[in-house]
Structure 1
Amino acid sequence: MEVRKRTAKQEKHPHHHHFSASDVVHETAEVTREVVEKVAEKLTCMWDELQEWQRDNHFIRSGYRPATASYLKSLKSLSYWHNETVNIYSHLLGAVFFGVLSSILYATLSPRHEAAKLWNVLDYVGIVGLITGSFIPSVYYGFKCETLIRDGYWIMICTIAIACATVSVHPHFRTPKYRPVRTSMFVAMGLSGVLPIVHGIQLHGIKEVERRSAMSWLLAEGAAYLVGALLYAARVPERLMPGKFDIVGSSHQIFHMLVLVGAGCHLKGMVVSFDNAHSNGVQCP
């Protein structure tokens, strides 16, 4: 009688005996993923739901954080995915060397308009500082004996830096309309580094410039910055497939990654230049 009851129960619920540990793990993971997605949907919003001052790139359609009027609430967004997550952590991971201002910007971008404007200005000023700081040691090692030339290039880059920082602070140039202008300005500032390289080759030849300034690493740095800036200005790849790169893979995020690559190239180049200058020594007359 007991056997019949068990058999009948098994026939009534045969699926109870087909669950394995892997099935349970898979089911749990699937439920967790669905819960995370639902939570993320509530924490983020679409382009059409943004306030006017938050709108910059209409090819990014989703994953935005709504304005919170609270730094604390904005900082809580570090714990979930949205379309600034990559920008935040790309700078946080590189903050040992640079990018502190930019990390603060993207972590607190959504509280309110005035706060966003302030940190946006600091972001641009941080970029100016990064380029200027990269330029100065490169020129120092490249023209270690030619002090007048060295000082001339230092004055040039500092003048350009002041001009770029001044424009960055001006509200008129911080709007999405002037995005290409801002990008062109910083590209021009970066390309000004080509002048001392060409000048150095004329004075000392390619091999000596490579030995003094690690030219190949500086060119790699410039290439990373230039490609990143062009993608950012063109809004590629999100322009080609709107909505597909809202959270990961947008031009802004690629730009951030290439900035890290460029800064890494610069660091390597300066280490090589330092070693060459202090081991072999450039003998000045």
Structure 2
Amino acid sequence: MLSLKLPRLFSIDQVPQAFHERGILFGYRHPQSSAAACVLSLFQMTNETLNIWTHLLPFWFFAWRFVTALCVTDIQNDSYSWPMLVYMCTSCVYPLASSCAHTFSSMSKNARHICYFLDYGAVNLFSLGSAIAYSAYTFPDELVHTAFREYYVALAVFNTSLSTGLSCYSRFLEAQKPGLSKLLRLLAFAYPYIWDSLPLFYRLFLFPGISAQNEAVLYHWRHTAMTLLASFLYSAHLPERLAPGRFDFIGHSHQLFHVCVILATHMQTEAILLDKALRKEWLLAASQPLSLLQIAAALLACLLFSLGNIVYFSAALYRTPEAELQRKET
């Protein structure tokens, strides 16, 4: 009978500091795992297993929704639906990138950093996808014909570049200044979200306008609440901070953070779909849809800027002498 030998797991004091997670004492994979061992770990209970599956399974759900939307859309002629398709595509990219990052992050120290650089780039691509969809369907009535909306997507592109660079840079501070590293990364994710959500906040808290008073508002509220909960879990390291070692495999904050992020994306998708359907007549009469050139230029600029940041910081890992890296981690 065939038997499969699973890779050995390690405690926190058996792996380099770069792999340490606060409050997680056991379940670490070998810090120089092979790619095959990383894939095999998907079917072994480690402290990363649920981090992988809580984004890998939703990826297939979001991909199914995206393909379904493609099949029922006249892509060539229905320019009104283009922003929604872009958003749905980017909502597939970030969970796939995250699951891959968590899967292969134990191959080496540098591989760990590069995996998460790519993860940050995917998150920011999704941020831009959200901005494009918000610009097309979610803006409150009073802001549709303003300069704010005219430059909203362009500044969202700028934010993605700055956010990717800041989040990548924060990883170089983990060893010596872990608190500052976490703060910078949290800010790098928070401010693009705040910028993207400004028209939504105006709609929820100030004056939505007649066309924006619809069933989508409830989903926007749920999405906002779930995003705030996800942010809290990401920064607080609860519950594992209160009981180190008890949530190594199931229930630690990053797993809960992943679940909240996926639920937030689901609520956001439902809200945007409702806005797209219920406000279509008003939006088409009141404003021009984003052109294919505008959407393509925004996406291309985001990809180029983000990949530029990722390449730069990845190269910086190899420009730093190994001895210096070790000194910083001790």
TM range (shorter): 0.7 to 0.9
Deviates more, 1:168-177 or 1:199-208: 199-208
Counterpart of 1:102?
98
Out of 195, 198, 209, which is 1:195 matched to?
Answer: 198
Out of 54, 60, 63, which is 2:27 matched to?
Answer: 63
Q: How many pairs were matched up?
A: 246
**TM-score of the two chains, using structure 2 as the length reference:** 0.67
* Counterpart amino acid of residue 158 in structure 2: T
Residues in 1 aligned to 2:223 and 2:168: alpha-carbon distance in whole angstroms: 26
Structure-to-structure mapping, 1:96-135, within 5 angstroms: 96=60, 97=62, 98=92, 99-135=95-131
**TM-score of the two chains, using structure 1 as the length reference:** 0.76
Deviates more, 1:117-126 or 1:273-282: 273-282
Residues in 1 aligned to 2:207 and 2:59: alpha-carbon distance in whole angstroms: 36
Residues in 2 aligned to 1:53 and 1:103: alpha-carbon distance in whole angstroms: 19
Deviation per CA, 1:132-151: give whole Å up to 9, x if none.
21222112213485274322
* Counterpart amino acid of residue 261 in structure 2: V
> How has the CA–CA distance of structure 1 residues 171 and 239 changed in structure 2, closer, same or farther, with 3 Å as cutoff?
closer
Which of 1 and 2 has greater Rg? 1
Deviation per CA, 1:183-213: give whole Å up to 9, x if none.
13312322223421344579953553333x9
> How has the CA–CA distance of structure 1 residues 216 and 131 changed in structure 2, closer, same or farther, with 3 Å as cutoff?
farther
Residues in 2 aligned to 1:215 and 1:243: alpha-carbon distance in whole angstroms: 41
Equivalent residues of 2:127, 2:193 under 8 A apart: yes
Residues in 1 aligned to 2:24 and 2:204: alpha-carbon distance in whole angstroms: 44
Counterpart of 1:155?
154
Counterpart of 1:241?
243
Matched, 1:136 2:132: yes
Structure 2, unpaired ranges of 5+: 63-91, 288-330
Matched, 1:183 2:186: yes
Counterpart of 1:229?
231
Equivalent residues of 1:84, 1:247 under 8 A apart: yes
Residues in 2 aligned to 1:236 and 1:51: alpha-carbon distance in whole angstroms: 23
Q: CA RMSD in A?
A: 2.8
* Counterpart amino acid of residue 164 in structure 1: S
Out of 251, 254, 271, which is 2:253 matched to?
Answer: 251
Residues in 2 aligned to 1:202 and 1:89: alpha-carbon distance in whole angstroms: 36
Structure-to-structure mapping, 1:83-102, within 5 angstroms: 83-96=47-60, 97=62, 98=92, 99-102=95-98
Out of 199, 203, 208, which is 1:205 matched to?
Answer: 208
Deviation per CA, 1:22-67: give whole Å up to 9, x if none.
xxxxxxxxxxxxxx9xx87x7211111112221232x111111122
Equivalent residues of 2:239, 2:252 under 8 A apart: yes
Equivalent residues of 1:168, 1:174 under 8 A apart: no
Counterpart of 2:313?
none
Matched, 1:215 2:217: yes
Deviates more, 1:172-181 or 1:231-240: 172-181
* Counterpart amino acid of residue 214 in structure 1: A
Residues in 1 aligned to 2:15 and 2:241: alpha-carbon distance in whole angstroms: 19
Matched, 1:52 2:17: yes
% of aligned pairs identical? 24
> How has the CA–CA distance of structure 1 residues 185 and 108 changed in structure 2, closer, same or farther, with 3 Å as cutoff?
same
Residues in 1 aligned to 2:46 and 2:266: alpha-carbon distance in whole angstroms: 27
